[in-house]
Structures are given as structure tokens and as C-alpha cells.
Structure 1
Amino acid sequence: MNPRAPQLRRLALVVLAVLLLGGGSLGYVLHARHRDRPAGAADGSFTLDEPGLYYRDSATGRVARHSATGGPPATGGPACERFYAAGEHALCLRGLPGIPARTQALVLDRHLREVKRVTVPGIPNRARVSASGNVLSWTAFAIGDSYATTGFSTRTSLLDLRTGYLIKSMEEIPLTIDGTRYHAPDVNYWGVTFARDDNRFYATVSTKGRTHLVEGDLHDWSAKALRENVECPSLSPDNTRIAFKKKVSEDPSAPWRLYVLDLADLREHPLAETRSVDDQAAWLDDDTVAYALPGREGRAGDIWSVPADGTGEPRLRIAGASSPAATN
């Protein structure tokens, strides 16, 4: 018998114990890292650094990306019901479980890590970020789930990341209609869109059964109506035109059509998309507007695009998707 056998056995047991403990520690670290990542957060490799068309994938409920250079879509973005990204930040809206309905607005950095979260009443509906990423806005339905119904109520919030100033509901902004300061208990705002200066913005205001396009000033905290029958405005990258949905029918199943408004003279023209669009359109560039349409026969909706000058025809961009946001 080898006189060193007991010592070798003890050494083997010690080595085995170290390996087991080390493996257990590694497993614990990996588990802890997984546990520390919030539910629905983006994978670490999915960021806003690559230009492309970001969108919500209907099959997974997560944000994905079609690269500007082609290739298969990138997956692994955060779980959102509404999404938008521009500049240095993204905005992800999620509906929280329970009654009454609540919306959680998550502000994310370019690596899609959480910067701030805000919870407001209602159902997630619209999300927008200024070109710099400094100013964000979101809208939630407080009652009902469609602009086509009567009696709905919205809550639109604004957040300025430069100052940290948060306005949970902008209904009290001083409003001027037809040159007169306007007051009414039924005023509702939705669909904010921002100019490049991070000060001027446009939005829809509804009151007395009519909708108005308003131009707002963050610094002066004021808004004035420019014209009627404009919903869900979206300002072009060159800040000269607004894509919007215009009510053209009393048929609740197809009330709207997409238009573009020239801010210089307030003239408008319809786009080649003749189907009813209930979405806040997003500009892919100065010449192209994208939007989501519901699918048929229970299928998830799709993202389409159309030329902004009224020519051409609709083009299917991404099947089973919504919330388009182009970045470069």
C-alpha cells in the first residue's frame, strides 16, 4: 500500500470541493446576473447604435430592428406595447396588470438601459421622442380604447430630461383658439411631436367634438390652435410638414385617411394610402411616411410606408409589426 495514499485522497477531496464550490459560485453569479436584469429588459447586445428601422415585433412583444444595411432582423430589444427612439433615448410603454389600467413609461438610454420610469393611469397609446432625445411625450387612454368612440379620455405627459421636469398631464397648458384663451372641462391632448429645437411642439387637442392641431411652446408653456381636423401629428425631419390622420367619414370602422400638411401655408394633400389608418405616422426620411395597419382575420398588424408627396402606392415594410422608429 502506498503510504501517501491517504494524503492523495485528502488532496483529491480538497480539489473536488474547490471545483464544486467554484462551480456553484459561478452558477450563483450567472443566476444573480440573470435575476438582476429586469423582466422584459433588452439583451445586452441589442442597442440603438446601429442605424435602421426599429419596431415592435407582434409575435414576441419585443423591439426588433431591420438594419439599414440589410440582412436578417436583429432581435432582443425590450418588451413594449408602444416604442419610439431618437437621439440619445428611447421610450417604451407597457401596460401594468390590474384594475384600473395603468401605463408604465420607461425612458431608456442608447444601450436600452432604464434611465427613468413614470406610471400614469390608462392604456398605452402614443410615444414620441424629440430628435435629440432630450424631450419625450406619451399618451394613455384613460377611458375606452379607440379615438373612433365617443366619451374617451386621454392623459398626455411630457418629460424634459435636461431639467428633469415632468408634466404628468398637459391639460392645464394655457390654450388659445381663434385668438382667445380657451377653457373647457372636456379638453384632451394626444399625439405630441417635437421640433428640432426641443422647444416647439405640435399636438392634437379635442374639445366640443372637434379636433385641432395646436402649436406649443415648452419655454413659455403655451399652445395655440392652428386649424381643425388634425389628429396624431408627426413632424417631418426637416420640420416643414406634418403627417396626420384626417377624419373623412362618420363610419366608425374607417373614419380616417392619412394627409400631409405644409406648415408654411397650411395646405394639405392626401397620401396614396386609402385605407383608414389609426396610428401616429412616423417619418422614415423627408420623403417617406410609415404607419401600422391592423391585420386581417385576427392576424397581427403590419408596418407600411408611402411617399409623402401623395404619389406612388403603399409598400409593406414589415409584417407582424407596429411602432416604427427610424434612426441613423
Structure 2
Amino acid sequence: MNLTRTASATALIVALLGSAAATVAWKGAAAEPGTGELRLAQPGTLLVVDAKGTRVHQKTREGGEIGTGPDCRRAAVAAGTLVCLHSLPGPFSSEVRVYRPGRTGPEVTLPVWGTPSRARVSPTGHLVAWTVFRSGDSYAAAGQFSTTAGIYDLRSGDHYGSLEDFTVLLDGERAQTEDANFWGITFAADDRTFYATMSRNGTAHLMRGDLTTRELTALRTNVECPSLSPDETRIAYKKRVGADWRLHVLDLRTGQDTPLAAPAGIDDQAAWLDDTTVAYGRTDQGGPFVYAVPADGSGQPVRLTAGSSPTVTTSVR
């Protein structure tokens, strides 16, 4: 494990957990603009970050406006829980802000070191995850970025720190991960199992994680930014094909890999709108847009709305 990065991450977590004022900010309604007109518990609507990359909007599946929410660079929603990655002034500074229905300000605020990259909420709404870009890690060349990913349990207040602190198993053996980067967490509904990407020695691995044992097990290579389907049988992800990424769906039962009818060059963590449709963000002429495409490889992409970071609202469990 990289000592410089681990020491920095540990120091940050200790600082967070050691101070009641800094650990989790339970803010009142007047603290800052919050969910506003958002209907977080209304299932089947689309949440996106606007084309400027600054604020959350709730829309119908056809792109009609429902309401606006807090400032976010990246966002995700499930079971009435909204997580926002918010940029702060200064280099590589962000906050993870968590919102629930009925509050105008964030219920939980966590400082993180890095710039926003990915965000996810577990199907139950109990767990939130984030990925940020960082610089300054000891193994990285000058000017290069690394990524780090973390998980927080809203029920217990457990901060799982960075995935760099988990035990990594490659081919059944414990692996050294001094140059490993982690990103793109996606959750199963048991609030224990999750999937993520680990890059090590230039190879991207699909990892299955266990929050109870704090272990990550490698399942497959060339899988980035996984997104678990609602029925938990498939993973949508971006796959390196030549010089570009292409969206694919992996069947976890059979190992079958299906390319989707989306264009090359999509750099996003896809989101499932339902068991048959995958959404993703893509920047093309006119700015960033959200598209939907069938998950079985058929059809063609359909533009839904302007914006990025799409996820779909689900019922509170």
C-alpha cells in the first residue's frame, strides 16, 4: 500500500472522526440551499446535473422539468437519498453532501480531498459513495492525477475511508497495491456487496467488494466504471476498445459481454433507468447531454435532456 497516500488519507479520516464539529455536519434548514422542489421519493424520474455542471435538476423520463436542487458537480439518488459532490474554493477541495426529503439543507457533510468524479447511492439509500481525482500521490509523476473512492454508512455513521485500505485479492492471493487507483463504486441491495474498478500496473480490474470483511476480489479485467442493474444480474461499464471506451453490459451469471449501441469515446459511469435501459452522459455539439440506450445491444441512443451525471429516483424502502 502506498504509505504517503495512506498516511494522508488516514490523517484526514482521523481529523474528521476526532472532531464533533468536523466529522459530520448536521445542518439546520437555513444552512444552505438544499433539495428545494425536488421530489426525492417519487420513483421513476431522472436526476441530472445541469449543462453548466453546477446544479441538480429533476426531470421526467422525457426531459420535462420537475424541480431544481442544490449545487453539485456530480450527483446520484436512490430510495429518497441524494448525494452531491460539491466543489469548494481552492485546489482539489470538495464536500460530499447528503440530502433527504423534507430538509432544505444537507443532512450530512463530509470534506474530501480531490475534485468530483463519480457518486452513487445504494438501492436502500443507506450508503453513499464517491470518487475524486487527486494529485500529489508519491507514485504519480508530476502533473498526473490519481483517483480515490470512499463509502459512508448513513445509519451507523461508519466512514469506510478509502478503498485503498481494503484487502485486495487477485487470483485468490493478497496483492500489493502501492500504485492502485480505485473508482466507480456501485452497490448491491444487501448493503454489504459492491463493485468498483481498480487500476493496477496499467490494468483495470472489476472488483467485488465486501464491507463486512473489507475485502476486494478481482473478477475480470478491462472493466471500468461499473453500474449494477436493478436485478443485480448485469453490470453496465465502459470497456477499452483500441483507443476508445465503448459501453458494454456484462452478464454476471454467464460472463457474456454485450456491446451497446452507443458511440465510442463515452467517459461516464452509466446508470440503469430500469432493467432494460441504460443512461449515460456524453459531451457533443452544444454541450453535455444525457442519452438512453437499450441494455441488450439493440436500438439506437435517444437524447433525453441536457446535462450529465444521470440517475433515476426510486421508492423509499
The change in CA–CA distance for 1:267 and 1:151 in structure 2 (over 3 A counts) is farther
Whether 1:84 and 2:94 are equivalent positions in the alignment is no
C-alpha separation in 2, matches of 1:71 and 1:184: 43
On the 8 A contact 2:38/2:58 being kept in 1, the answer is: no
2:129 corresponding residue in structure 1: 137
How big is the shift at 1:88?
3.2
Q: Label 1:327 to 1:111 Cα distance change in 2 as closer, same or farther (>3 A).
A: same
2:94 to 70, 86, 103: 103
Closer, same or farther: CA 81–40 of 1 in aligned 2, 3 Å: farther
Letter of the 1:317 counterpart: L
Residue of structure 2 aligned with 1:280, choices 262, 269, 274: 269
Q: Do the aligned partners of 2:35 and 2:101 also contact (CA within 8 Å) in 1?
A: no
Instruction: Give yes or no for contact 1:50–1:67 (8 Å, CA) kept in 2.
Output: no
**Cα distance in 1 between the residues matched to 2:56 and 2:102:** 13
- In 1, are the aligned partners of 2:238 and 2:246 still within 8 Å (CA)? yes
Q: Shift of residue 125 of structure 1?
A: 0.4
Structure 1 partner of 2:22: none
Within 5 Å, give how 1:246-325 maps onto structure 2: 246-250=239-243, 255-296=244-285, 299-319=286-306, 321-325=307-311
Q: Do 2:184 and 2:225's aligned partners in 1 also have CA atoms closer than 8 Å? A: yes
Matched with 2:237 is 244
Encode CA deviations 1:271-303: one digit per residue, 9 max, x unaligned. 01122110000000000000000132xx32000
**In structure 2, what residue type is equivalent to 1:180?**
E
Q: Aligned partners of 1:238 and 1:203: how far apart in 2?
A: 18
Q: Deviations over 1:212-248 (max 9, x none)?
A: 0011111111110001000000000000000000011
Contact persistence 2:34–2:99 (CA under 8 A):
no
Look up the match of 2:166. Answer: 173
What is the count of residue pairs matched by the alignment? Answer: 279
Per-residue deviation, 1:54: 1.2
- Higher RCO, 1 vs 2 (CA within 8 Å, ≥6 residues apart): 2
Give the TM-score of the pair, scaled to structure 1: 0.81
Range that drifts further, 128-137 or 104-113: 104-113
Matched, 1:124 2:113: no
Residues 185-234 of structure 1, C-alpha deviations (whole Å, 9 max, x = no match):
10111000000111111000011011000111111111100010000000
AA aligned to 1:324 is: P
**Distance (Å, rounded) in 2 between the aligned partners of 1:303 and 1:158:** 26
1: CA distance, partners of 2:29 / 2:79: 27
Distance of 1:209 and 1:67 partners within structure 2: 40
* Distance across 2 between alignment mates of 1:214 and 1:50: 32
Paired with 1:177 and 1:306, the residues of 2 have a C-alpha distance of 33
User: What amino acid is aligned across from residue 65 of structure 2 in structure 1?
Assistant: P
In 1, are the aligned partners of 2:53 and 2:72 still within 8 Å (CA)? no
Rounded to whole Å, the distance in 2 between the matches of 1:169 and 1:139 is: 10
Residue aligned with 1:75, SS: strand
Alignment CA distance shift 1:36-1:263 (3 Å): closer
* Secondary structure, aligned partner of 1:279: coil
* Larger radius of gyration between Structure 1 and Structure 2: 1
> Could you say what secondary structure the match of 2:249 adopts?
strand
- In structure 1, the partner of 2:313 is 327
- 8 Å CA contact 1:47, 1:111 repeated in 2: no
Deviates more, 1:49-58 or 1:177-186: 49-58
Off by >2 Å, runs of 4+ in structure 1: 35-43, 110-113
C-alpha displacement of 1:167: 2.1
In 1, are the aligned partners of 2:53 and 2:308 still within 8 Å (CA)? no
CA displacement, residues 138-187 of structure 1 (integer Å, 9 cap, x when unaligned): 0000039xxxxx94311211101221100231102000001110013101
Match of 1:215 in 2: 208
Cα deviation, residue 59, structure 1: 4.5
State the distance in 1 between where 2:52 and 2:205 align: 35
Greater helix percent: which structure? 1
Residue 154 of structure 2 is aligned to residue 161 of structure 1: yes
TM (normalized to structure 2)? Answer: 0.83
SS in 1 for 2:71: coil
- Counterpart secondary structure, 1:76: strand
**For 1:284 and 1:322, how far apart are their aligned partners in 2?**
14
What is the alpha-carbon distance in structure 2 between the residues aligned to residue 125 and residue 54 of structure 1? Answer: 16
